[in-house]
Amino acid sequence: MNKSDSPTYRSLNTYTKLMRAAESVTSRVNRVLAEPKLTISQFGVLEALYHKGPLCQKDIAAKILKSTGNITLVIDNLEKSGLVRRERDNEDRRFLTIHLTESGSKLIAKAFADVEAAIVVEMGSLTDSEQEMMGILCKKLGLRGGAKQS
């Protein structure tokens, strides 16, 4: 068996290609966030609130796959910029819900449309069936994270 036929080589080669492609596409898509001066984490928070409505920080962190500590800093900065506001629950004053402000809602509507258009351009290099297959394979890989490692 030659080196390129080994399962280890094939796994590492596939992983490298996947990571390089993801980094390359992400870099190009993220360029559209330079205009509104948003980080990818800020965009993620705003996008979650835009599509899901008001959320607590823990739910936002879970939705965009970031730590709650990181989300606190991101929300602090978004709040300073007037894009979100924190509201205390009347029943339990310890519980905070994050809401989009009017300016935050306007900004994310435009930014989301721009990111969406950039993603469509990037994915346009794949046929419809290739996009479907990639979605299936990525989901399969993502779900593997919950399986026991051997």
- Tally Cβ neighbours within 10 Å of residue 71: 23
Structural domain includes residue 132? yes
pLDDT digits (tens, 9 = 90+) for 24-80: 999 999 899 888 889 989 999 999 999 999 999 999 999 988 888 889 999 999 999
Residue 20: CATH number of its domain: 1.10.10.10
- Look at the chain and report how many structural domains it folds into: 1
Would you say residue 21 lies in a domain? Answer: yes
Task: Print the domain residue range for 95.
Answer: 3-144
CA distance linking residue 45 with residue 79, whole number of Å: 11
**pLDDT tens figures, 128-145:** 999 999 999 999 998 876
d(CA 69, CA 84): 17
> Domain for residue 50, yes or no?
yes
Structural tokens at position 115: 């990111």
Residue 121 belongs to a domain? yes
Q: Sign of torsion, CA 64 70 76 81?
A: negative
